[in-house]
Structure formats: C-alpha cells, structure tokens
Amino acid sequence: MINKIKKYIIPNGLIGKDDRIIAAVSGGADSVAMLLILNELKKSLSFYLEVVHVEHGIRGEQSLSDARFVEKLCKNLEIPINIFHVDVINYAKSHGLGEEEAARILRYEKFKKVAFSRAEKSDSVKIAIAHHLEDNTETILFQMARGTGIDGVCGIEPIRHVSKNVYYIRPLLGVSRAEIERFLAEKNQDFCTDSTNSDIQYDRNRIRKNILPQLNQINNQAVLHINETANKLREIRNYFRKEADREYKKIVSIEHDKHGNEVYNININKLSECDIAIAKEVIRTTIISCAKKKKDITNKHVMAVLDLINKQTGRKVLLPYNIQAVVSYETIKVFLKNKVKENKKNVDYKDVRNVIEIKSDFFEKLEELVDGEKLIISLNDGTKSYFSVRLLHASVNPEDLIKKKYTKYLDYDKIKKGFQIRNRRSGDFIVSDSDGHHKKLKSYFIDEKVLASERDHIPLLTQDSEIIWIVGMRIGYSYRISDMTESILEIQYNGGN
C-alpha cells in the first residue's frame, strides 16, 4: 500500500523535497490512513509534515471526541497539529447555506489559513486531502447528474494550484476504500466514524449508498473503470486546452479603458473560422480571464457570447460577476462594468398602505424588455419608495446573494405566477431550509431582535401567506436560486425620502 502510494505521488509531482505538507485529518478512515502513510514516507521523500483538524460543532460530544482522537494520534506519532473549532450551524444560518456546504467552506478556510502562514517561510506548501477512487467516482457522477462540462467528467485533480506556492494534493486518489480499510486493519489502527456519512439526505451519501453498489453489480470494476476513463479524458482535455490557448492568442487582444480596466477584444472573423469546440473554449477562457474566477461560468454564458457573432453593433449580454459582452463592429468586447454602489444604510420604511398585486400582465411586459432593462413598482405610499425589477438570463455573483440587503435575486419560474407587496398579517411564515420547515414571521422578528414598533412597517413580498422576501432581511428558501434556475428576477427596494 505504501509503495503504491509512493508510485502515485512521484510521477504526479505531488510532493517534492523540502515541501511542507499539511494533512487534513478528520479522524475518519481515509484521513487516518493518509496520515500514517505520509508519516512513513516523510523521511524517504524528505518533506515536513503537520496536521490540521477542524471540529465543526455539529455532532456535539461525538465531534469533540473525534478532535481528541486526532490530537492523541498526532501526539503518539510526534506530528504537530492545529485544531480549529468552528460554528457551522450559525454560519449556515447567517449565510443562507446548507450545513454540508457551510462545513466545507469553513473547513477549507482553516486549511488555507495554516497553509498561507507556512508559505511565508516555505517554497512549497501542499494541503493533503484524503480523497480516494470512490470519492472521485462520486464526484464525477454528481457533476454529470447536475450538468457539467469536460472538467466535471475529468473528476478530482491529483494536484491543484491554490495561490502562489500553495497547492491541494490527493495522494490516495489511486487507491480504493477497501484497500484503505485493509491497510488500517493490518496496522491495527482505530479510526472515527461520522454518523452523518450514512444519512442519504445528502446527495453524495445517496450516490455512495445507493448508486455505486448498483454499478458494482453490473461490473465489480466499475469504480476503477470510471476513474481510468476520467484520466484519459483529462489527457485529452489538457491537449485540447493547449490547442485552444494557441488560438486564443491569435483571436483575443487586451486593451485598457480610461479607468485602467481590462477590455478583452474577440476578433469575430477569426473566431468564426474556428471549429465550434475551439471557439467555445476561446470564449470561455475570455470570460474567466475577465472575471478572474471560474465558478458560475457555464455553457449558457459561452453560448450567449457566441450568439453575438451574427448580431449588430451595440447588442450585448450580461454575464456573471458584473461582466458585459458587447458587439462593436468586427469585435466582441468583454469587460467588467463599473459597479453601482448600493446604499448600505438602513432604510426608513414607510407603510405599504394597500396590498399591491403583481399579476401576469406585469411579467409579460418584463419578458418583452431587452435583457437588463428594469420595470418600476411604485408603492403609492406618499413617498418616493419603489421597487425596481429586471429579468436576468445569466448567473449572479454568489457574493451578491449575501451582501446586498436591499437587492435580492429570486428564481423567476417560482415567482412569475404573481406575488403581493404588503405589510405583515397573522399567519405569515417563511420557509427556512431545504427540508421545507416553516418559521412564523413573528418568531423570525423575535429571533432577529426587530423592534415591535417596526414590524408593522417592513414591506413584504408574499405569495398568499408564504413570504418571498422580508425586505432588508432574508428571502424564503423556496425562492432561492438553484442549479436548476434558468431565469433570475432581480428586485431592489429603494426607500425614497
């Protein structure tokens, strides 16, 4: 087992001489096995080793027991350890996330915190994660089920650059869970079992518990074959990217506007001469280069820009992260729009004196507008207060979903049947999570310490008694954007005078 891991590490360039390896150890079988193997290899491969353990605060005493187990293991192995305690439940609540996603964000934040501090004194820092063959298979199947590009079916990368001299590595990616368990049994090594791993309400657990066993009944080498296919696809993808990068340099030029912002110019004639696969990759690379990130850049956005090839000058599309692509004669210009600063002060709410019904005729007008144009809903309350609404056919920067108090993004298909704008009524509730749990508006106001004198004056967007948005506060889980969202309703409250 140890020699097999070593033979995987060296050709994939996972660990070099004098690297500082930070092993992410939860206490589970996979991470414990990884720690033992790295400890065995640190002398022959000549690297430094330490551990990070993140206690999520979800499973009470069981979670604390896991932390003590990892601490004792590291003490016996004489390996330095960093233990962090995080509050996943409150983080998930305050950021509108599920606990699984919140735990992952907080966990990786701590991994990177330690890595970045070590990177100041080390030439190369690697964060070792204990993903194995089955984990990779689960990832590939999950990505395919929800929709993905070639990167998704290539699976987990053995090594991935984070920033500067920091990387993620997966030294166990070439071994199976069964091999890991046999290794631990031979070593007579205990490990912790996370009770949430058997909960099939989580998508990955459902794949692990239900789908993989069915695939193994078809072929007991199914997991291995899926991983081998992913590796072949990764090789093809890497070659394709080199070819696309060569064309990108011929087709795309960069200039700067008067504010010093980058403007990416795509030559339409040269792009039109390319094979469709190369053309789409050139556009994808352009958007990512402008955004400085890959997340939320999908095929939908690539196709929207590609569609501009045959459009007249001035036609444009809105893209994630406030990026815009505009036709300018023989060029498509891709650039970051100047951000409009939102008023962060608390709005002095006025009564919504009458119930305002937003019906189908409003949405018909909205759908006739050019992408990005707005409609106004006046509150007729004696002030200049109003809502501005626009329809987007592109993803929204996830940061906007959290940080903007008075602008929210809703799943258009879930709201286009109509809604009301009004003040609170008896029986109002908000759906608080993915399980559909209801919370009474009164209870929400009490929990958020909203003064009783203010509660009757806060505007609400509702569908009957279900709350879409408590203006200035949270939106109902039912109306959130998901991976299935095709169109987005942006709604902004302007408090008037």
CA angle in degrees (0–180, nearest 5) for 417-423-424: 95
* Pairing relationship of beta strands 466-470 and 460-463 according to DSSP bridges: antiparallel
Q: Is 27 annotated as a binding residue?
A: yes
* Token pair in block for residue 423: 């003040």
CA–CA gap between residue 419 and residue 99 (Å, rounded): 30
The beta strands (E) that lie in 316-431 are given as 316-319, 323-328, 331-336, 356-358, 374-378, 386-392, 407-411, 419-422, 429-431
Q: Does 28 carry a binding-site annotation? A: yes
Q: What are the φ/ψ torsions at residue 224 (nearest 5 degrees)?
A: -65, -45
In this structure, are residues 216 and 223 in contact, taking their beta carbons and an 8 Å threshold?
Answer: yes
176 labelled as ligand-binding? no
Helix 29-45 / helix 177-186 crossing angle, nearest 10 deg: 70
Residue pointed to by tokens 């005493």: 61
395 marked among binding-site residues: no
How large is the C-alpha radius of gyration of the chain?
Answer: 26
Report whether 31 belongs to an annotated binding site: yes
Residue 417 CA: distances (Å) to CA of 97, 333, 407, 462, 491: 26, 36, 21, 12, 16
Q: Which residues are annotated as a binding site for ATP?
A: 26-31
Q: Which residues are annotated as a binding site?
A: 26-31
